[in-house]
Amino acid sequence: MRSIRVLVIDDSALMRKLIPQLLASDPGIEVVGTAMDGLFALKKMEELKPDVVTLDVDMPRMDGIETLRRIVAEFGTPVVMLSSLTERGATLTLQALEIGAFDFVTKPQDAISVHIKDIAEELIAKVKAAFENPLARLRTRKVESTTVPRERKASRTTRTAEQVLAIGISTGGPNALSYLLPRLPANFPAAILIVQHMPPGFTEMFASRLNTNCALEVKEAQDGDLVVPGRVLIAPGGRHLKIKRLPLGTIAVISDSAPVNGHRPSADVLFRSAAAEYGSSVTGLIMTGMGADGAEGIGEIKAQGGMTIAQDEKSSVVFGMPKSAIERNYIQQVVSLGDLHGFLMNHYLGKEIAHGTATCC
């Protein structure tokens, strides 16, 4: 198998030296060139024809966002963004994902130090995943572009949820959730709990952006938040999300315990907690993402009598997480992203509005 040809775009001379060194540690990757800004990069795209691009999100002259737009429109090459752990970095990164970036990696705040090596494994994995899924961005954008009229948000009930929908998702998740959640109505009867693999500082902004486009209330989970119908709680970046059923209602529990499957937050942690507290009243949904996080936890939901669903391969940016759960025989239904809202509406409200198919496992 030939090497993956990568073009590195970054305005920092230091990063143009360090990132190729990190990528070169994997024999399956060849850095074919670097560029200091978007204008140089577009010329090198024509010349070098890379398989994958790494792109700094914040650059002078032609910035990362405009460069990404041009790469998406003119070349269709998968792009992995490199972002700073700042509010501006988070804003630009979420915008990049909406435009069509494959995924992102955050740089350490002290990038000059040896801590830059901490991102090597993640960056290499995402470059490889981008290469192996070259059509994923196009599939995601085609689905995500559909617009949905928004309903007026209903006054939020304080009645504790009798049913819970727990979702685990990673690479490709922001666009997938931006497609799914606005299609669910304000009277959706279950509480929705989500683990989206993101670093600290990103999930609050992501939840806020979703909240403006959804009839449901969407927020980053905080310790003690009530788990109620029609509310979506997204695990905060860098922290686990669990739930606890108490006599006066169910609450969110935020934990700083050790990473699970290399992740914090972890879908396994959420799924196991939901299964323990709600048993057969939990629906587990595992969506697009790299790796196997959530596979064993969703197995516990199935063992407790809950419904288990996986996003199908065709609509997943990366099929790793759903595939891992399917291969363990933990999934009862495999559903495309385009049909998920209809499937969930039928499951919870008895309204059959799906137009595609769901596959029984």
Which tens digits make up the pLDDT trace of 70-100?
999 999 999 999 988 778 888 999 999 999 9
Comparison of pLDDT for 215 and 350, the residue scoring more: 215
- Quick check: 104 pLDDT over 60? yes
From the list 51, 197, 263, 273, the catalytic residue is: 197
Residue 171 DSSP label: T
Comparison of pLDDT for 119 and 258, the residue scoring more: 258
Q: Where are the strands (E) in the chain, listed by range?
A: 4-9, 29-35, 52-56, 79-83, 103-106, 164-169, 191-196, 217-220, 231-234, 240-246, 249-255, 282-286, 307-311, 333-335, 358-360
Query: Residue 352: pLDDT band by 50, 70, 90 thresholds?
Result: low
Query: Residue 150: pLDDT band by 50, 70, 90 thresholds?
Result: low
Per cent of the chain over pLDDT 90 is 77
| Average pLDDT of the chain, as a whole number | 89
Position 133 scores a pLDDT of 79
For residue 307, give every residue at least 6 positions away whose Cβ sits within 8 Å of its Cβ, in sequence order, or none.
Answer: 282, 283, 284, 301, 332, 333, 347
Q: What angle do CA 314, 316, 317 make, to 5 degrees?
A: 115
Position 108 scores a pLDDT of 75
Encode 56-79: b = buried (16+ Cβ within 10 Å), e = exposed. bbbbeebbbbebbebbbeeeebbb
Per cent of the chain over pLDDT 70 is 88
- Quick check: 152 pLDDT over 90? no
Position 157 scores a pLDDT of 62
- Quick check: 348 pLDDT over 70? yes
Q: Does residue 265 have a cis bond before it (omega within 30 degrees)?
A: yes
The verdict on whether 170 is a catalytic residue reads: yes
pTM (2 d.p.): 0.89
Q: What's the CA gap between 147 and 128, in Å, rounded?
A: 32
Position 238 scores a pLDDT of 95
Q: What's the CA gap between 246 and 241, in Å, rounded?
A: 16
Position 260 scores a pLDDT of 96
* Nearest alpha carbon to residue 66 among 103, 89, 95, 88: 95
The verdict on whether 56 is a catalytic residue reads: no
From the list 10, 58, 84, 170, the catalytic residue is: 170
Please, is 347 exposed, middle or buried when counting C-beta atoms within 10 Å of its C-beta (0-12, 13-18, 19+)?
middle
Average pLDDT over residues 64-75: 93
**Could you give the 3-state DSSP secondary structure of residue 56?**
strand
- Quick check: 359 pLDDT over 70? no
Q: What's the CA gap between 31 and 251, in Å, rounded?
A: 48
For residue 286 the two structure tokens come to 């595992």
Question: pLDDT tens-digit profile of 272-297?
Answer: 999 999 999 999 999 999 999 999 99
From the list 293, 312, 324, 336, the catalytic residue is: 293
**Could you give the 3-state DSSP secondary structure of residue 94?**
helix
Ordered by where they begin, the domains of the chain are 4-134 (3.40.50.2300), 164-360 (3.40.50.180)
